[in-house]
Amino acid sequence: MTFPAPLTGVVPPVCTPLTPDREVDVVSLVRLIDHLMDAGVHGLFVLGSTSEVAYLTDAQRRLVVETAAGHVAGRLPVLAGAIDMTTPRVLDHARAARAAGADAVVVTAPFYTRTHPAEIARHFRLVAAGAGLPVFAYDLPASVHTKLHSELVLSLAAEGVLAGLKDSSGDLGSFRAVVTGARDLPGAGGFTALTGSEVVVDAALALGAHGVVPGLANVDPAGYVRLYDLCAAGDAEGARAEQERLCELFGMVGVGDPARMGGSSSALGAFKAALFLRGIIACPATAEPQVPLSEGEVERVGKYLAGAGLL
Amino acid sequence: MTFPAPLTGVVPPVCTPLTPDREVDVVSLVRLIDHLMDAGVHGLFVLGSTSEVAYLTDAQRRLVVETAAGHVAGRLPVLAGAIDMTTPRVLDHARAARAAGADAVVVTAPFYTRTHPAEIARHFRLVAAGAGLPVFAYDLPASVHTKLHSELVLSLAAEGVLAGLKDSSGDLGSFRAVVTGARDLPGAGGFTALTGSEVVVDAALALGAHGVVPGLANVDPAGYVRLYDLCAAGDAEGARAEQERLCELFGMVGVGDPARMGGSSSALGAFKAALFLRGIIACPATAEPQVPLSEGEVERVGKYLAGAGLL
Amino acid sequence: MTFPAPLTGVVPPVCTPLTPDREVDVVSLVRLIDHLMDAGVHGLFVLGSTSEVAYLTDAQRRLVVETAAGHVAGRLPVLAGAIDMTTPRVLDHARAARAAGADAVVVTAPFYTRTHPAEIARHFRLVAAGAGLPVFAYDLPASVHTKLHSELVLSLAAEGVLAGLKDSSGDLGSFRAVVTGARDLPGAGGFTALTGSEVVVDAALALGAHGVVPGLANVDPAGYVRLYDLCAAGDAEGARAEQERLCELFGMVGVGDPARMGGSSSALGAFKAALFLRGIIACPATAEPQVPLSEGEVERVGKYLAGAGLL
Amino acid sequence: MTFPAPLTGVVPPVCTPLTPDREVDVVSLVRLIDHLMDAGVHGLFVLGSTSEVAYLTDAQRRLVVETAAGHVAGRLPVLAGAIDMTTPRVLDHARAARAAGADAVVVTAPFYTRTHPAEIARHFRLVAAGAGLPVFAYDLPASVHTKLHSELVLSLAAEGVLAGLKDSSGDLGSFRAVVTGARDLPGAGGFTALTGSEVVVDAALALGAHGVVPGLANVDPAGYVRLYDLCAAGDAEGARAEQERLCELFGMVGVGDPARMGGSSSALGAFKAALFLRGIIACPATAEPQVPLSEGEVERVGKYLAGAGLL
């Protein structure tokens, strides 16, 4: 497919359903993709943080991209995370994603290593030169421990290195600097700015974001499509109301007991429990070494769903 | 081989020589290993941070372990890093390392993801259960962004999950808590405590460390063997003098201009430049996206070597 | 005065003009306050970060509050920062601010010390009990190294401990949780949520913020009042355009050379240079140990002002 | 007094006994100082972190220095912390400490503000020029969120700005760089390097530290004097045994339940409970907003004391 420039709309970071043995559950993954497409989403992002990419082996990553790209069959753009520590390893993932049918790759700055801004720029240039696909920068300081500064993103965009940004930094001011700065890029209009927020999607769209990549869209894709449409129609009040409803639903990420588990176990556990309770995936297991939700915690997820009319 | 319990002595984290095209330079790697063994080191640690493990592809990692294990052929224990974000990915590396001939694996806490102490414990338990080799915990908060607390290390050691600790935290107080606590473990004496420091090796050995894993030992393995022997002989004054000489040599890690590169480019660049200048490896290249040292910076490395009588 | 509940509108964090000898320049401070009031601001926040509170001695802090409260004379509410490491020291500042005529105090979580959420809650309770003035929580993780979680803020608001929040965390999602959660508080409508952002003021107001505390409002108070009015009138397009103009002007905070100075020297230096160039304060000096802007950097501030039609 | 250059020996950071109303308990403070002097300590450091300096009001700080300096009356050097966010505020504290009789001041880098190395250097230069007393740099990254690099410390020492360093960074390698580098300073031998560690005092002294400032020396000053003497006598084995005994006693800092309190409440609470149980201070209260130890936690402190033969 010709990759849309810019890519607009709702692009859920697709959860990776697992079997009780922690293998990729291909049937559930296909069912989840159908659930998302039926709700009218505009693209799919596989192998992101919400997809538990950090936990998937190379074989599992390949299977996820093949399954998604094969099932979507060009009806929507499929972006794939190529998440690893440094350039050579990212390039291996990017080539595998391309071979498996991805339409674009999403890449963070190097992590685990000590990085310098000049090395980050070099990293993206080398990845773009070798990936054979459009490259989106993935700004996720909570994981990467480096913030991608707006100047760096814009200068790499101006060079043609970056096709877009997926911003999960939580820093809307810096995201705005990219959004407004991108208007003046050569070949204007081609650069895509996506927010990874679940809770300020209305604000991000109002200031010019092209699209949104909320993990919660796995659970309620129709809600985010509705929110996107309200924003596109300029209905600020309606958008705010829908966003606030989704914020309430998003409360489910906190069901896990912080004395027993980390934020990832709680949030991804809740999304998967919700998909399981809604009958979309066959098993709510998360990857190792994440801790499973207790029965009571799953019940609380159910209450969030019921409150949102999703059960 | 029967893995020594505890492992004692100097166990250099072996640099990974690269060709100008950034492929593993097997001939140089073998020459480097001979250089280390000739100096009398007591073990080898491949695929650690100093080995640029974060930059090596899976194929390159395999080649490094095969080369090292094959060449050493049981004369020394070969530990291999199995460095990745989470349990399933670490297990893939651990199994590959085992198949390639490693005698033990060295494993960090999960990174990139948000981790909870209970999840870290679960991670090490699952890795130990699946690796088929002794597991060393690798405490490297600068990369992992989590500190392995001494209580956790000791309790996993007591369970038989951990065979040892490689401490690169810089926190000698916490390391001491492991060293002294390990004396009371069941099957006492089996647990190995290694320090990754270059500059307080004498202190670490004085308080009971079994061995040392200094990156600088690539450049001056004989110096660290001498230091180890002086400590073993109880010659505190002699050890201090040798350690101070090595501290001065270690200054080379700062040759890189911080306006142009990160600490990794500077430190690993200096080690490799030193090995190149000493005629041990054929090319001083570091992996992408690290920035190469300038000519003037390489000259400064040469001055450090000359000052230490190593040129 | 009866403190407004909620407080709405533009509440600039007032710069503290200094003489070349680094004493408070009272005449310039009065002129600056007039400049702000003439532009129609709705309140004043003295002794905040933009006021260089961290650099002012106790005597200088007192003089600033006395000057501001005396000159304003009840025409507007005057909030004063009571910024120090722990409860007893904050209480001393709060009492001094009250004696000097402040209408409310703004207080961070403890810093420098290692804090626990329970200790933070205890801190705010004790300050509220002893201050004799309404207490605003000041969320500034860049300085305090702790984030005030929305649940904590809301629960302290429900107890009557907090009158409001000044959010400078940059995390609009968390701020939204306070704004929407505050609607359900007992005595609803009394709690004040203020954003400290310069660059997403339109977004913060759209999601329900009561007021805005942008440091840049020292330089262009009329711009922020205009922006507030556009938002209040529901003119999203007009608000966005005005906000984008202010974002461009805000670029001045980056004029300082990062090789020579920190972010505070650059940003506060730029604000003061702008006030000096606009003829509002007599001297652009910042407090020690901040580094002054160079002549060329001041010229660049001038270009920002000219570009915004403010020179 | 002529301040010793270098200052050597055990210099406890003196706890600040409080009454149940959280006023300075002068009688207990004098008794504590006598307890320390009777044990043979070589200096006193008041208003450090262990003294709860961050919690004491200016009036309380003054009272502590006056009490200590008055009671010591020149028999030992008295160092006083001058702990605040920036230069002007630190200078106020330094002058107050001097007026109250302190012999030297101990000063951190600026905190709360965003600092640049050049600003940190400027800060120490201005403090040294205005304090009228020898200035020790206090390296405490856990509180200050900046590490004082050895190069900076040494260059300020060479300028005559710094009389010494109190290192509580936990980074013994960096401390060693200061210790060895200080030997080559002009007027060699004058610069004092003190470690704030409780648990690697033997190691710090072995590598050349002049003195030690362990908080635990409030509880067992005789133990640290013994340890210092063993190190001075070159009895490495004896020193190690004494240090390990003190490490075990130091375990008391962990008695506080981390679900209920922070590290400061636990550690300082334990020291004060121990002093109370030993009959040296009249009340174990810590300053607000710290959380008090429970009865059971105090009992555990008692067991640590009993185990060390101190009850």
- pLDDT tens per residue across span D172-207: 999 999 999 999 998 767 999 999 999 999 999 999
Residue C178 has pLDDT above 70, yes or no: yes
Give A255's pLDDT tier (boundaries 50, 70, 90): very high
The pLDDT score that the predictor gives to residue C188 is 63
CA distance D150 to D165: 10
The pLDDT score that the predictor gives to residue B188 is 63
Q: CA of D177, closest CA in chain B: separation in Å?
A: 8
* CA-based nearest residue to D34, from D9, D65, D67, D71: D71
CA distance C60 to D77: 33
Task: Name which of B114, B118, B145 is nearest A263 (Cβ-Cβ).
Answer: B114
The pLDDT score that the predictor gives to residue D188 is 63
The pLDDT score that the predictor gives to residue D2 is 85
Check A173 against C197: CB less than 8 A apart: yes
- Backbone dihedral angles phi then psi of residue A79, each to the nearest 5 degrees: -95, 145
Q: What's the rounded mean pLDDT across residues C258-287?
A: 97
Q: Which residues of B touch D203 (CB under 8 A)?
A: 172, 200, 203, 206-207
Q: Which residues of A touch C199 (CB under 8 A)?
A: 173, 176-177
Average pLDDT value over all residues in chain D = 97
Give A187's pLDDT tier (boundaries 50, 70, 90): confident
Check C113 against D54: CB less than 8 A apart: yes
In tens, the pLDDT along D255-307 reads 999 999 999 999 999 999 999 999 999 999 999 999 999 999 999 999 999 99
Check B247 against D176: CB less than 8 A apart: yes
State what percent of residues in chain C have pLDDT above 90.
Answer: 97
Q: CA of B111, closest CA in chain D: separation in Å?
A: 22
Buried (b) or exposed (e) across A204-233, using 16+ Cβ within 10 A?
A: bbbbbbbbbbbbbbbbbbbbbbbbbbbbee
From residue D140, alpha-carbon distances to B142, D107, D177 in Å are 18, 10, 17
Task: Name which of B176, B203, B206 is nearest D247 (Cβ-Cβ).
Answer: B176
Q: What's the rounded mean pLDDT across residues C194-217?
A: 98
DSSP state string for D241-266: HHHHHHHHHHGGGG-S-TTT--HHHH
From residue C108, alpha-carbon distances to B277, C120, C160, C212 in Å are 55, 9, 17, 18
Check B54 against A112: CB less than 8 A apart: yes
The pLDDT score that the predictor gives to residue D187 is 72
Give D71's pLDDT tier (boundaries 50, 70, 90): very high
Residue D23: other Cβ atoms inside 10 A: 14
Residue of chain B whose Cα is closest to the Cα of D235: B236
Task: Name which of B87, B123, B143 is nearest A112 (Cβ-Cβ).
Answer: B143
| B222 contacts: CB under 8 Å, gap ≥ 6 | B39, B40
Q: Which residues of C touch A168 (CB under 8 A)?
A: none
In tens, the pLDDT along D32-52 reads 999 999 999 999 999 999 999
From residue B255, alpha-carbon distances to B266, B299, B301, B303, C168 in Å are 6, 9, 7, 11, 39
Q: Coil, helix or strand for D143?
A: helix
Please name the chains neighbouring A, where neighbouring means 3+ C-beta pairs under 8 angstroms.
B, C
Q: CA of D22, closest CA in chain B: separation in Å?
A: 33
Pick among D180, D195, D199 to test the B interface (most B CBs inside 10 A): D199
Pick among B23, B114, B146 to test the A interface (most A CBs inside 10 A): B114
The pLDDT score that the predictor gives to residue C196 is 98
Which uninterrupted H or E stretch holds D31?
helix D26-38
Residue of chain C whose Cα is closest to the Cα of D50: C113
From residue C245, alpha-carbon distances to B203, B296, C199, C268 in Å are 59, 46, 10, 20
The pLDDT score that the predictor gives to residue C186 is 84
Q: Coil, helix or strand for D211?
A: strand
The pLDDT score that the predictor gives to residue A188 is 62
Task: Name which of A177, A200, A234 is nearest C173 (Cβ-Cβ).
Answer: A200
Q: CA of C83, closest CA in chain D: separation in Å?
A: 10
DSSP E strands in C26-130: the ranges are 44-46, 78-81, 104-107
In tens, the pLDDT along B4-42 reads 999 999 999 999 999 999 999 999 999 999 999 999 999
In tens, the pLDDT along B118-138 reads 999 999 999 999 999 999 999
Pick among A147, A174, A176, A205 to test the C interface (most C CBs inside 10 A): A176
In tens, the pLDDT along C72-93 reads 999 999 999 999 999 999 999 9
Residue A229 has pLDDT above 80, yes or no: yes
Check C247 against A176: CB less than 8 A apart: yes
pTM higher than 0.90 for the full model?
yes
Q: Which residues of B touch D180 (CB under 8 A)?
A: 244, 247
Give B171's pLDDT tier (boundaries 50, 70, 90): very high
The pLDDT score that the predictor gives to residue D189 is 75
Check C177 against A244: CB less than 8 A apart: no
Task: Name which of A55, A113, A261 is nearest B264 (Cβ-Cβ).
Answer: A113
Q: Coil, helix or strand for B93?
A: helix
In tens, the pLDDT along A47-78 reads 999 999 999 999 999 999 999 999 999 999 99
**Cβ contact D290:D55 at 8 Å:** yes
